[in-house]
Structure formats: C-alpha cells, structure tokens
Amino acid sequence: MQSEVADIPAEPGTIPLRPRRRGRTGIALTTPALLVLAAAMLYPIGYTIWLSFNSSRTALSGTPDFVWLANFLKIAANRDFQAALLQTVGIVAASALLEAILGLSIALALHRALAGSRIFQTIFALPLMIAPVVGALAWRFVFADGYGLIDTIARDFGGEGPLWFADVWLARAAVVIANLWLALPFDILVLLAGLTALPTEPLEAARVDGASPAQILTRIMLPLLKPVIAIILVTRFADAFRIFDVVYVLTGSGPANRTDVLSTFIYRQMFTNFDFAGGAAASVLLVILTSAASLAAVLLLRERQGRA
C-alpha cells in the first residue's frame, strides 16, 4: 500500500496540478469519508483493542486491569483457537481457488454477451439477495443427512447420498460449497464490470497480431484486470475470514469442532465462556492475519504489474 505514494507519476503529460495542490485536493476529497469513519469506528475499534490488553473483568466492571500480552498468548496457545485458525485458513484458501476458477469462467462466459446474458447475470446475483441465514438453511436442506435434496436426487438414480455432516471432510466441503454460493456473485459481477471496462485497443491489437484466445486472456486481459482482482481478493479475504452463519447453521462447528472458524470461536469465547478479553484478543489477531493476507495479495499483484 505504501507504493501508492510512489505511484504518483512524475512523467510529463500527466495531471498538471502541482503536487501541493494535488495533495490538498486529495485531502479535501477524502476527509469527509474519513471523518465519518473515524467518528464511528475509532471508539469500537479502540475499545476492542484496549480490552484485548486487559482482563475479562474489565468488560464486566469497566475498571482497567492491564495484563499486557497475556490474552494474546493465552488465545494463541488455546487448542481450539489453533484449530479454528487452521480451519479458517483452509476454507479461505479453498474458497479463493474455487472462486478464482469459477468466478472468472462465469464472468468470461457472461462477457461474451450472448443473447439472454442478462437473465443469467441476474440469476448469478440472486444468492446475495437472500438473507444469509436463510441461504444457509436452504443449503442445510440440500445436504441434510439421509433426506436432503442431494440424497433425493441420488435415490432417483438408485444410489444414496453421502452423509455430509457425519464426515469431517464432507462437512468442511459442505461449508466451502455453501460459502462459495454466497461468494461467487460478488466475484462474478466485479469481474464482469472489470471486463466491461477493459480498453479495446490492446485486445484488438493482439487479435490482429494473431494471438490465440488463451494468449489474449492470460497475457493481456488478466494483467489489465489486476486492480479488479485486487478488489476481489481483499474483499473476499475479509469476508471469508469472518464467515459465521454458514458454519453456525450447517454444522454448529461440528463434528467435534472440526468445522469451527474464527468467528464462531470468538462468539463462543465471548458469550458462552464470558471471556470478552480473549474474544477481543482473538479479534485483533484475526484482523492482523487478514490484513497480512490482503497486503501480501495486493503486493504480489502490484509487483508484476508493469507501467501500462
């Protein structure tokens, strides 16, 4: 993100405003949003961070009780936290991979602008218009052990569906699939917007030069889509690290906490175990982790982008 500053082009023929005025314009443009965010978020975020350095008694009584890094160490050493962390990272990674493949494929397919694309586009946006808890419940019925939709279809073919929730890896797969359903619309629509906004000249030029569609895709379109991909990665990381409803409804974190994720862990820490400070510490760790992943993704993309 720091390279943002270096991005200000010094070459001739760019924005003619002198740097001083450019900076001031920037400040004027960004301050309203920043003020609103600061006023709203500084207290909750500050409170959470402050709480993570105190003991849980502080949440109950309001009087500070500094324990420095004790909460962080305790949470990091907590077996369940480690399991939740690993499982969350697993879900994020699996989702990211599937979203990349499916999201891009579907966006490209829609981008062909065949007749009826509009209908498809709306269908792909539908999952987001369903309240998340309802969507999760619907998927519960698709996967339900012994009588779900998948099972019914399998029986129609003379077989039997698997017991999704009674198997650790199938349960995880179910969570990933249900989460994918909720995540793909964002990926598809943002990619589609990016594809639509692509400049035509490079693509025309490449086609005239005889490049194959695959080459056009990988050598020209994808690199140009990097900002859009950055949007998606950072947003989706944040969402995936925070998934809650799908896990809560489908598996209750089970079997035996094998599908527990960071959000459900934090919820339990706070409201079942009354460990508010631990929950706060876990939240802070979650933020640090997600930010690191997002930063890595953005930097990776930034590195390979030449000056177009």
Instruction: Provide the 3-class DSSP secondary structure of residue 177.
Output: helix
Q: Which of 91, 183, 262, 297 is in the footprint of another protein by CB under 8 A?
A: 262
Of 21 and 93, the one with the shorter C-beta distance to another protein is 21
Query: Is 243 in contact with 95 (CB distance < 8 Å)?
Result: no
| Min CB(264)–another protein separation in Å | 10
Q: Which of 70, 120, 173, 219 is in the footprint of another protein by CB under 8 A?
A: 120
Residues facing residue 54 across a β-bridge: 66
Instruction: Provide the 3-class DSSP secondary structure of residue 10.
Output: coil
The structure tokens listed for 147 are: 């009588």
Cα 203 to Cα 188, 263, 271: the distances in Å are 21, 43, 55
Instruction: Provide the 3-class DSSP secondary structure of residue 253.
Output: coil
Q: Which of 93, 159, 271, 299 is in the footprint of another protein by CB under 8 A?
A: 271
Q: Is residue 173 at the binding interface for another protein, with CB under 8 A as the rule?
A: no
Q: Is residue 100 at the binding interface for another protein, with CB under 8 A as the rule?
A: no
Q: Which of 10, 63, 77, 113 is in the footprint of another protein by CB under 8 A?
A: 113
Of 53 and 148, the one with the shorter C-beta distance to another protein is 148
Query: Is 256 in contact with 236 (CB distance < 8 Å)?
Result: no
| Min CB(63)–another protein separation in Å | 13
Q: Which of 10, 16, 77, 158 is in the footprint of another protein by CB under 8 A?
A: 16
Residue 268: count other Cβ atoms within 10 Å of its Cβ: 17
Considering only residues 62 to 91 of the shown chain, the ones binding another protein according to CB under 8 A are: none
Count of positions on this chain that bind another protein (CB under 8 A): 148
